[in-house]
């Protein structure tokens, strides 16, 4: 949240963030920056595609309740509400709604990014989930170095190397 706050206060000129944090930019509507923003793909058009992954445990004794919940969760109107509450949707409907696109203009880019998102390799049997802040810490450290005057290409290469190393440490083996 500090990063978003720095952006809408003018301390940071550019922001690359996940959609759920981008919704906080709307706080800036009272800070006279709304309408002065633009949104685009990240350089290289290699987005991280993250999202809802609901499922039912195969041993569940309550599958009928879970199915009812999923039917409710994927309703068009519920997804509009979820989007307004925190720009999180389980379906594509809100990303195609003109009224919501006026409120959250980056949602069109979010939808377009799905065309470029890489498929994730399934986890190996020995892999474990990477804590969410590990990757953010790597990106934050290296983008900070850019603002200190280090060459952007070196910082971006350092991000790539650190994340690749982190993936290996946690048992995820991603190679192009």
Tokens representing 7 are 């952006």
pLDDT confidence of residue 163: 85
What is the count of structural domains for the chain?
3
Q: Is residue 50 part of a domain?
A: no
Q: Is residue 44 part of a domain?
A: no
pLDDT confidence of residue 157: 86
* Among 109, 69, 72, 104, residue whose Cα is nearest residue 88: 104
pLDDT confidence of residue 173: 62
Q: Is residue 43 part of a domain?
A: no
> CB of 80 within 8 A of CB of 94?
yes
Residues sharing a CB contact under 8 Å with residue 93, sequence separation 6 or more, in sequence order: 76, 79, 80
pLDDT confidence of residue 158: 92
Please indicate, yes or no, whether residues 113 and 126 belong to a single structural domain of this protein: no
Please indicate, yes or no, whether residues 133 and 106 belong to a single structural domain of this protein: no
Q: Is residue 112 part of a domain?
A: yes
Pick the range with the lowest mean pLDDT from 31-45, 72-86, 92-106: 31-45
Q: Is residue 53 part of a domain?
A: no
Please indicate, yes or no, whether residues 129 and 81 belong to a single structural domain of this protein: no
Q: What are the C-alpha distances in Å from 167 to residues 47, 121, 131, 163, 171?
A: 17, 11, 11, 6, 6
Per-residue pLDDT of 82-133, as tens digits, reads 777 765 677 778 888 888 887 777 777 777 777 777 665 555 556 677 776 8
Q: Is residue 46 part of a domain?
A: no
Average pLDDT, the chain: 76
Boundary (domain end) residue, out of 96, 117, 138: 117
Provide, rounded to the nearest whole percent, the portion of the chain with pLDDT above 90: 1
pLDDT confidence of residue 51: 60
Name the CA radius of gyration of the chain, rounded: 19
Dihedral Cα 100, 105, 110, 111, nearest 10 deg: 50
Residue-range definition of the domain harbouring residue 156: 121-176
> CB of 101 within 8 A of CB of 108?
yes
Please indicate, yes or no, whether residues 112 and 130 belong to a single structural domain of this protein: no
Q: Residue 75 above 80 pLDDT? A: yes
Specify the residue for token string 């990757």.
135
Tokens representing 123 are 């986890």
Please indicate, yes or no, whether residues 128 and 166 belong to a single structural domain of this protein: yes
Per-residue pLDDT of 2-16, as tens digits, reads 777 777 777 877 777
Please indicate, yes or no, whether residues 106 and 137 belong to a single structural domain of this protein: no
Q: Is residue 48 part of a domain?
A: no
Specify the residue for token string 């004794």.
61
Cα–Cα distance between 15 and 139 in angstroms, integer? 12
Cα–Cα distance between 60 and 67 in angstroms, integer? 12
pLDDT confidence of residue 55: 79
């Amino acid at each position: 949240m500090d990063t978003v706050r720095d952006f809408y206060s003018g301390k940071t000129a550019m922001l690359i963030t996940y959609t759920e944090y981008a919704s906080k930019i709307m706080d800036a509507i009272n800070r006279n920056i709304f309408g002065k923003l633009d949104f685009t793909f990240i350089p290289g058009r290699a987005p991280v595609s993250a999202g809802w992954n609901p499922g039912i445990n195969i041993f569940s004794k309550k599958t009928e309740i879970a199915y009812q919940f999923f039917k409710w969760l994927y309703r068009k109107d519920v997804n509009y509400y979820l989007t307004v509450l925190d720009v999180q949707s389980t379906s594509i409907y809100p990303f195609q709604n003109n009224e919501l696109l006026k409120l959250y203009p980056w949602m069109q880019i979010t939808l377009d990014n799905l065309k470029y998102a890489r498929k994730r390799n399934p986890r190996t049997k020995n892999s474990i989930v990477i804590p969410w802040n590990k990757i953010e810490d790597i990106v934050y450290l290296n983008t900070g170095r850019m603002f200190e005057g280090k060459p952007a290409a070196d910082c971006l290469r350092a991000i790539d190397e650190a994340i690749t190393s982190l993936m290996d440490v946690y048992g995820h083996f991603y190679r192009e």
